[in-house]
């Protein structure tokens, strides 16, 4: 066999990719074991039938050929209008490119912002694909650690120090955050924005959970003073409209950057299927009805989960202000998140993600996805709590 490139072979950075517990759970399910899966950010409902009708109508009407690479005009316009309305920043269709999901947007944004070998900063804990995405774009990923006691918010001093040391060219943030559920307050965003300006960095803002806010307010940093020309926003239909499998999202950025991205898409994805884009048009035109319906179960389960956790004191929760996850601090058990998650799956057939899958700052935590029916979630959390209590009691004696 000829040589495979190091870029492909080293996407994980040589370590674990963090998906072991998830894969083990999937394998158990395939064997017929009844596992409560609280691992990935996949809704327990499917795409709304009205959206599927729109998709079907579009396909039957013939929108199955090549679509415009930057996205169909109508969808670019709707996204631009939505961003203008929500952020107050005048946004034109020329500022928007439709992508095959937020993930492709994250990759394209880093391709556009960085030259090969440039340093790209990202905040730890992070969405599990981030370091690999940065490496795929030939960047050097450098993480910004955070602490549970600071609600996992990054400090601008740490960002500034890393920017200075590594001559970083971009910073990737994610609010509402996966895995922590934190919605960054305005003050934090302003400090981040200032650091980006002072160190001449692009700010890549992953806002794929922007319709799932349970406390506080979602602020897009593109709307902050001086940020429009150095912010690349990643949006997606996956979480807001339960369209994970449709692979559709967008990038909002300065026009010259979008022009470059269109050239990149022409030589990579060649756009997004027209019937998927038409379904997205329908969904966004009906956002007022559909978005709250899709977000509601996560808010309800977040409240339910916090009330279950209030009944005990072994596990500390970091109350999420957005998104579809809950972070549990299980350090009292003396186990790592990974060891706890493996034991939990083995003993109780409950699958959660180890905090370590999302970076060192989340060590000793579990990420619970709020993606099963309320009763099942409450039962699973009670089991997790009693399992943790027994382990913590043993740990205290040892």
| Separation between Cα atoms, residue 124 and residue 142, nearest integer Å | 10
DSSP secondary structure letter of residue 314: S
Does 249 help bind ligand PLP (rule: CB under 6 A)? yes
Minimum distance between the CB of residue 247 and ligand PLP, rounded to whole angstroms?
7
Residue from 93, 102, 271, 337 touching ligand PLP (CB under 6 A): that is 102
Contact between 126 and 105 (Cβ < 8 Å):
no
Minimum distance between the CB of residue 221 and ligand PLP, rounded to whole angstroms?
15
Minimum distance between the CB of residue 153 and ligand PLP, rounded to whole angstroms?
16
Residue from 119, 170, 244, 314 touching ligand PLP (CB under 6 A): that is 244
Does 358 help bind ligand PLP (rule: CB under 6 A)? no
Strands 325-329 and 316-318: antiparallel
| Separation between Cα atoms, residue 290 and residue 283, nearest integer Å | 7
Give the interface size with ligand PLP as a residue count (CB under 6 A).
Answer: 13
Minimum distance between the CB of residue 167 and ligand PLP, rounded to whole angstroms?
26
Residue from 41, 70, 141, 273 touching ligand PLP (CB under 6 A): that is 41
Which window, 25-33, 89-97, 188-196, 236-244, contacts ligand PLP (CB under 6 A)?
236-244
Does 131 help bind ligand PLP (rule: CB under 6 A)? no
Evaluated on CA atoms 17, 18, 19, 21, the torsion sign reads: positive
Does 212 help bind ligand PLP (rule: CB under 6 A)? no
Site string for ligand PLP, 147-186 (x = CB under 6 A): ---------------------------x---x--------
Q: Which is nearer to ligand PLP, 314 or 361 (CB)?
A: 361
Does 238 help bind ligand PLP (rule: CB under 6 A)? yes
Greatest C-alpha distance within the chain: 69
Phi/psi at 26 (5° precision): -60, -40
Contact between 171 and 159 (Cβ < 8 Å):
yes
- Per-residue 3-state assignment (H helix, E strand, C coil) for 60-94: HCCCCCCCCCCCCHHHHHHHHHHHHHHHCCCCCHH
How many Cβ atoms sit within 10 Å of the Cβ of residue 258? 21
| Separation between Cα atoms, residue 195 and residue 127, nearest integer Å | 22
Q: Which is nearer to ligand PLP, 221 or 249 (CB)?
A: 249
Does 205 help bind ligand PLP (rule: CB under 6 A)? no
Which window, 96-104, 195-203, 225-233, 288-296, contacts ligand PLP (CB under 6 A)?
96-104
Phi/psi at 298 (5° precision): -70, -35
- Residues in contact with ligand PLP by the rule CB under 6 A: 41, 101-103, 127, 174, 178, 206, 208, 236, 238, 244, 249
């Amino acid at each position: 066999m000829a040589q495979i490139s190091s870029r492909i072979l080293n996407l994980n950075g040589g370590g674990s990719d963090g998906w072991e517990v998830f894969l083990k759970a999937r394998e158990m399910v395939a064997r017929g074991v009844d596992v409560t899966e609280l691992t990935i950010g996949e809704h327990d409902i499917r795409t709304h039938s009205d959206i599927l009708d729109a998709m079907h109508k579009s396909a039957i009407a013939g929108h199955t050929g090549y679509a415009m690479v930057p996205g169909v005009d109508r969808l670019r316009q709707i996204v631009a209008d939505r961003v203008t309305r929500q952020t107050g920043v005048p946004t034109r269709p020329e500022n928007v490119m439709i992508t095959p999901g937020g993930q492709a947007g994250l990759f394209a944004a880093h391709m556009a912002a960085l030259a090969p070998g440039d340093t790209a900063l990202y905040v730890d804990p992070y969405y599990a694909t981030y370091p690999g995405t940065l490496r795929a774009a030939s960047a050097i990923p450098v993480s910004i650690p955070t602490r549970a006691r600071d609600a996992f918010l990054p400090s601008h001093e740490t960002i500034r120090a890393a920017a200075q040391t590594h001559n970083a060219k971009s910073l990737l943030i994610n609010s509402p955050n996966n895995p922590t559920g934190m919605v960054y307050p305005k003050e934090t965003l302003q400090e981040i924005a200032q650091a980006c300006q002072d160190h001449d960095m692009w700010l890549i803002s992953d806002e794929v959970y922007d319709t799932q806010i349970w406390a506080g307010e979602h602020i897009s940093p593109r709307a902050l003073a001086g940020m429009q020309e150095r912010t690349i926003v990643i949006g997606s239909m996956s979480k807001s409209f339960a369209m994970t499998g449709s692979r559709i999202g967008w990038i909002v950025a300065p026009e010259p950057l979008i022009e470059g991205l269109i050239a990149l898409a022409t030589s990579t994805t060649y756009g997004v299927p027209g019937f998927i884009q038409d379904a997205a048009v329908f969904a966004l035109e009906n956002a007022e009805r559909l978005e709250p319906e899709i977000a509601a179960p996560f808010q309800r389960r977040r409240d339910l989960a916090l009330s279950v956790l209030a009944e005990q004191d072994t596990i500390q929760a970091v109350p999420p202000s957005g998104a579809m996850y809950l972070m549990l601090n299980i350090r009292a058990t003396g186990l790592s998140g990974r060891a706890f998650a493996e034991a939990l799956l083995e003993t109780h057939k409950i699958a959660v993600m180890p905090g370590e899958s999302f970076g060192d700052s989340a060590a000793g935590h579990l990420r619970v996805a709020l993606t099963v029916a309320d009763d099942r979630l409450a039962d699973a959390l009670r089991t997790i709590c009693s399992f943790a209590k027994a382990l913590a009691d043993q740990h205290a004696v040892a």
